[in-house]
Chain A
Amino acid sequence: MTADLNQFLLQNPNFRVLSEIKNNLIGNLEVDDHVYQIEFLAPKFPSTNGMACKVMKGVSEISLNHFKPEKATLISEYLKELGEFLRANTIRHRPGFTAASIRDFLHQLELLSRDLRCKTVINKDFTVIKLTNFEGYEGHYLDLEISKTFEATVQRHSLPDKDSFGNNLFSISGGLENVVGQFRRLLEQFSDFYSHLHTIDELCTVVEPMLVSTKHNWRMICITERVLGKIVIDPFSPSAVTMNFIGPTLEVEKYRKIYNENIHRWDIDLDVYRNLLRIFDLMYFPMKMCDDDEEEKYCNICYIYMLDDHIPLISCDNPRCDLVFHVACLKEWFSTLDERKTFLAVTFGSCPSCKEKLSPSFVQLLEM
């Protein structure tokens, strides 16, 4: 065995000699997640002169008809170019890609993820990039679809979908750097918005959504035992808040009035939580003492507390009737009563227990 061949085997431990006649070698080449079996004959080792090569992936042979190593005169260079050819080949559905353009793109991506301090994952087909673990913005993610020309289109992201005017917050396409840069700027811009919501999550009893995500720009909290407040915050101007009250008709009117009379006391230097305390002249909002399901008041229709991530929130206008119901259970009940008005109508039925009216403010709960 020649010294050259020995050195090659040391540098490429995946390869072994099948036969020393014409230097017949076999071995594996790993490209991204794919493993290729390479067998070659190199009579003039280490030169590629008179070389023959066969590539197998599993049981199928990969055609090398389009593989034209340009610079390779040595076997080691040949294998390096072969690896790049195969990498481009794995993205076979994307004919526009070349090894060089992919390399450039990957390089760009690596720089970006270093700049943004986030984690990037590319799928096998090279069609989707997932960016996660943004440093300082935990829980956020951005999935991009990559076109043949390496244009990025937002597929999924962790920001709220619409602003308070119903406009799409973030759905742009363009160069990778542009799209990711804009996402990053929004994250920074929204930091007050997220911190306001975080305080509410920490210091209030949030009853909806039960599973809070970075996409939610609202919270429904307990103001009293029966009255809920729905707070919607505009991510772009987090001190602009829309507040709605949900609960028995008279109590809702009372809290609506207090809110309207004191809204002028809003101080934009304070966060939303503290402003709301000022408005209602409270030290704190009622907090749930325990998370034990058994202790909770269950829905008087299905007899359970947590139903598909919702808790029973609806109670009627009768102060002596203390039963509560899930939105879904009441909806189902009203839908079985053909002569009664539908749930969506302004007056939508009565308490299944005491027959007292249910406040129309609950209609908002349906929109969730």
Chain B
Amino acid sequence: MSLVSKMESKSSATSPSERRLHKELLALIKEPPPGVKVDVDSVGKNLQEWKINIDGVEGTLYEGEHFQLLFKFNNKYPFDSPEVTFIGSNIPVHPHVYSNGHICLSILTDDWSPALSVQSVCLSISSMLSSCREKKRPPDNTLYVKTCNKNPKKTKWWYHDDTV
């Protein structure tokens, strides 16, 4: 039995947060936006952790590269934002992405809204990469990576630059 049919047969998901994640996952499997693919095997039983593969968009600095995002949800989702980081061997070199995978993106903390979704977060990250003009790490990368909390949501981000 595939995960999709397993999930479709699961008639009543329990908590509201699980119910919503369940619907989002189904939609993402059935109609994935270009360059975004959820790693179905990584999705745990309680839907609280997903791995999503995203491809560097053609015609951008990241063309041909593949990245992996880790989404962690708590039971307050969607009222609380997901924790999103790049994981794996290839962390994109980008002015808003630290080498430990943390992402400086306002919709992941201050500007989160329950009307956003996993898909819209993936697309925002993808477009953040696509609009990059020069591959480089954030200027404070070394210090940040040494001192930061493991959870990027604990960082008080200063969203200094929206143009990149």
Contacts and interface: CB of A to CB of B under 8 A. Distances in A.
Contacts, number: 33
B113 A353 contact: yes
Contacts of B78: 301-302
Interface in B104-121: 113-115
A301 B115 contact: yes
Given A336-B79, A336-B80, A302 B115 contact: no
B24 A303 contact: yes
Contact of B19 (A300, A304, A333): A304
A152 B20 CA distance: 51
Contacts of B24: 303
B79 A351 contact: no
B16 interface: yes
B23 interface: yes
A1 to B, nearest CB: 67
A230 B147 CA distance: 57
Interface in A311-368: 323, 329, 332-333, 336, 351-353
B99 to A, nearest CB: 32
A315 to B, nearest CB: 12
A130 B55 CA distance: 69
Interface in A220-265: none
A323 B114 CA distance: 12
B67 to A, nearest CB: 27
A300 B117 CA distance: 10
Interface in B55-97: 76, 78-80
Given A303-B24, A333-B79, A336-B80, A352 B114 contact: yes
A303 B23 CA distance: 7
Contact of A353 (B76, B80, B115): B115
Contacts of B19: 302-304
Q: Which secondary structure dominates where chain A touches chain B?
A: loop
Contact of B79 (A300, A303, A332): A332
Select the residue from B19, B78, B114 with max chain A CB neighbours within 10 A: B114
Contacts of B20: 301-304
Contact of A301 (B76, B80, B114): B114
A301 B20 CA distance: 8
Interface string B5-48: 00000000000100110011000000000000000000000000
Nearest to B20: A303
Contacts of A332: 79
A24 B96 CA distance: 100
Contacts of A336: 76, 79-80
Interface string A42-60: 0000000000000000000
B16 A300 contact: no
Contacts of B76: 336
A355 to B, nearest CB: 8
Most buried by B among A302, A329, A332: A302
Contacts of B115: 300-301, 323, 351-353
A258 to B, nearest CB: 32
Nearest to B27: A303
A302 B19 CA distance: 8
A353 B113 CA distance: 7
A351 B16 CA distance: 20
Nearest to B17: A302
Contacts of A323: 115
B80 A352 contact: no
B106 to A, nearest CB: 13
A353 B114 CA distance: 8
A302 B17 CA distance: 7
A348 to B, nearest CB: 15
Nearest to B24: A303
A336 B113 CA distance: 11
Given A302-B19, A333-B79, 18 more contacts: A300-B114, A301-B20, A301-B78, A301-B79, A301-B114, A302-B78, A303-B19, A303-B23, A304-B20, A304-B23, A323-B115, A336-B76, A336-B80, A352-B113, A352-B114, A352-B115, A353-B113, A353-B115
17 contacts: A300-B114, A300-B115, A302-B16, A302-B20, A303-B20, A303-B23, A304-B19, A304-B20, A304-B23, A329-B114, A332-B79, A333-B79, A333-B113, A336-B79, A351-B115, A352-B113, A353-B115
